[in-house]
A and B are shown apart, each in its own frame.
Chain A
Amino acid sequence: MSSKLRDLIKTVRSCKTAAEERSQIAKESALIRTAMKEEDLESRQRNVAKLLYIHMLGYPTQFGQMECLKLIVSPSYADKRIGYLGLMLLLDEKQEVLLLATNCIRGDIMNSNQFIVGVSLCAFGNICSTAMARDISPEIEKVISHSNPYIRKKAALCAIRVLRKVPDLTENYIPKIKALLSERNHAVILTALTLIIEICEMDSTQIIHFKKMVPQLVRILKSLTSSGYLPEHDIGGVTDPFLQVKILRLLRILGQNDPEASDAMNDILAQVSTNTDSTKNVGNAILYECVQTIMTIESENGLKVMAINILGRFLLNRDNNIRYVALNTLSRVVNTDIQAVQRHRNTIVECLKDPDVSIRCRALDLIYSLVTESNIRVLVRELLNFLLIADAQFKSELVAKLCIVTEKYAPNKRWQIDTILRVMSIAGNFIPDEVPSNLIQLISSTPELSSYAVQKLYLALKQDITQQPLTQVGLWCIGEYGDLLVADKSQLPKDEDGLSLNVSEQAVIDIIDLIFRHATTTQATRQYSLTSLAKLSSRFSQSSLQRIKTMIDNYKQNINLELQQRACEYSTLFDFDKKASILDRMPPIEKQEESPHIGNKNIPTQTPPQQHYQQQQQQPQQQSSQFGSILDGLDSPTQSSANSGNNNNNNNKQGGNAMSLLEDIFGSAPTPTSNGNMNNNNNMNNMNNNMNNNYAMGGMGMNNNNNNSMGGMMNNNNNNNNNNNNNNNNNKSQASALLDIMGDLQLTPTPQQPQSQSQQALSPTNQTSVLQPVPQPLTFLVYQKHGLNISYECSKPQPNNLSLTNINMVITNTGSSPITNFSLQAAVPKYLKIQLLAPSSTVIPPNNSGEVTQVSKVLNSQQGQKPILLRLKLDFQINGQPFSDVPDTPLPSLF
Chain B
Amino acid sequence: MIKSILIINNHGKPRLIKFYEHYSEEKQQQIIRELFLLVSKRTERSCNFLEIGNNSNIFDKDTKIIYRHYATLFFIFCVDSSESELSIIDLIQTFVESLDKCFENVCELDLIFHIDKVHYILDEMVMGGLVLETNPTIIFSNYEIQNKLEKAENPLLSGLAGVMQTIKPNK
Interface residues of A (CB under 8 A from B): 5-6, 9, 13, 39, 41-42, 49, 52-53, 55-61, 66, 69-70, 73-79, 81-82, 85, 88-89, 92-94, 100, 104, 115, 118-119, 121-122, 125-126, 150, 153-154, 157-158, 160-161, 186-187, 190-191, 194, 201, 232-233, 235-236, 240-243, 245, 249, 281-282, 284-285, 288-289, 319-325, 328, 355-359, 361, 393
Contacts and interface: CB of A to CB of B under 8 A. Distances in A.
B156 to A, nearest CB: 7
B86 A89 contact: no
Contact of A81 (B51, B138, B150, B154): B150
B153 to A, nearest CB: 6
B27 to A, nearest CB: 10
B87 A76 contact: no
A153 B123 CA distance: 13
A150 B15 CA distance: 28
A278 to B, nearest CB: 11
Given A59-B25, A125-B128, 9 more contacts: A49-B115, A85-B123, A100-B171, A241-B87, A242-B131, A281-B89, A321-B49, A358-B49, A358-B51
Contact of B113 (A6, A61, A79, A100): A6
Nearest to A49: B116
B90 A235 contact: yes
Given A125-B128, A321-B48, A186 B135 contact: yes
A320 B153 contact: no
Contacts of B29: 58
Interface of B: 14-18, 20, 22, 25-26, 28-29, 32, 42-43, 45-51, 53, 55, 82, 84-87, 89-91, 93-94, 112-113, 115-116, 119-120, 123, 127-128, 130-135, 137-138, 142, 145-146, 149-150, 153-154, 156-157, 160-161, 164-165, 167-171
A77 B152 CA distance: 10
Contact of B14 (A56, A150, A243): A56
30 contacts: A6-B113, A39-B165, A52-B115, A55-B25, A56-B115, A57-B14, A58-B32, A60-B25, A70-B168, A74-B160, A75-B160, A81-B146, A82-B116, A157-B128, A157-B132, A160-B128, A186-B135, A187-B135, A190-B134, A235-B90, A235-B134, A242-B87, A242-B91, A242-B134, A285-B84, A285-B89, A288-B85, A320-B47, A321-B48, A358-B51
Contact of A85 (B22, B120, B161): B120
Nearest to B169: A69
Given A57-B14, A186-B135, A77 B119 contact: no
Contact of A161 (B28, B120, B128, B161): B128
Contacts of B84: 245, 249, 285, 288-289
A147 B148 CA distance: 23
Given A56-B14, A288-B84, A73 B169 contact: yes
A161 B133 CA distance: 17
A59 B24 CA distance: 11
**Quick one: which of B82, B116, B137, B142 has the most chain A CB within 10 A?**
B116
B145 to A, nearest CB: 7
A58 B25 contact: yes
A157 B130 contact: yes
Contacts of B160: 74-76
A241 B157 contact: no
Contacts of B145: 115
B22 A93 contact: yes
A391 to B, nearest CB: 10
B87 A245 contact: yes
Contacts of B150: 77-78, 81
Given A6-B113, A235-B90, A356-B46, A100 B169 contact: yes
Contacts of B14: 56-57
A70 B17 CA distance: 24
Nearest to B18: A89
B148 to A, nearest CB: 10
Contact of A160 (B94, B115, B130): B130
Given A186-B135, A190-B134, A284-B86, A393 B55 contact: yes
Nearest to B25: A58
A241 B137 CA distance: 16
A126 B128 contact: yes
A584 B50 CA distance: 54
B127 A325 contact: no
Contacts of B149: 77, 115
Contacts of B167: 70, 73-74
B112 A13 contact: yes
Given A41-B161, A85-B119, A321 B89 contact: yes
A887 B142 CA distance: 89
Nearest to A58: B29
A235 B95 CA distance: 13
Given A41-B161, A242-B91, A281 B131 contact: no
A325 B128 contact: no
B50 A78 contact: no
Given A242-B90, A321-B86, A233 B135 contact: yes
A118 B85 CA distance: 28
Contact of A78 (B91, B123, B127, B157): B157
A150 to B, nearest CB: 7
A705 B87 CA distance: 63
Contact of A158 (B15, B116, B128, B168): B128
A419 B47 CA distance: 32
A256 B149 CA distance: 48
Contacts of A94: 22
B80 to A, nearest CB: 11
A356 B47 contact: yes
Contact of A325 (B32, B53, B86): B86
A249 B85 CA distance: 13
A233 B25 CA distance: 38
A41 B164 contact: yes
Contact of B120 (A53, A81, A104, A186): A81
A281 B113 CA distance: 32
A827 B170 CA distance: 66
Nearest to B45: A320
B132 A235 contact: no
Contacts of B93: 235
B130 A194 contact: yes
A70 B169 contact: yes
A132 to B, nearest CB: 13
Lowest 6 CB-CB distances: which A-B pairs, in order? Answer: A285-B86, A320-B47, A125-B128, A58-B29, A356-B46, A92-B22
A241 B138 contact: no
A816 B66 CA distance: 88
A809 B25 CA distance: 69
Contacts of B90: 235-236, 241-242, 281-282, 285
A89 B150 CA distance: 21
A321 B28 contact: no
A597 to B, nearest CB: 27
A53 B115 contact: yes
A741 B160 CA distance: 103
A242 B131 CA distance: 9
Nearest to A74: B164
Contacts of B132: 153-154, 157, 187, 191
Contact of A154 (B51, B55, B127, B138): B127
Given A190-B131, A325-B86, A85 B138 contact: no
Given A9-B113, A70-B168, A235-B94, A187 B133 contact: yes
Contacts of A190: 131, 134
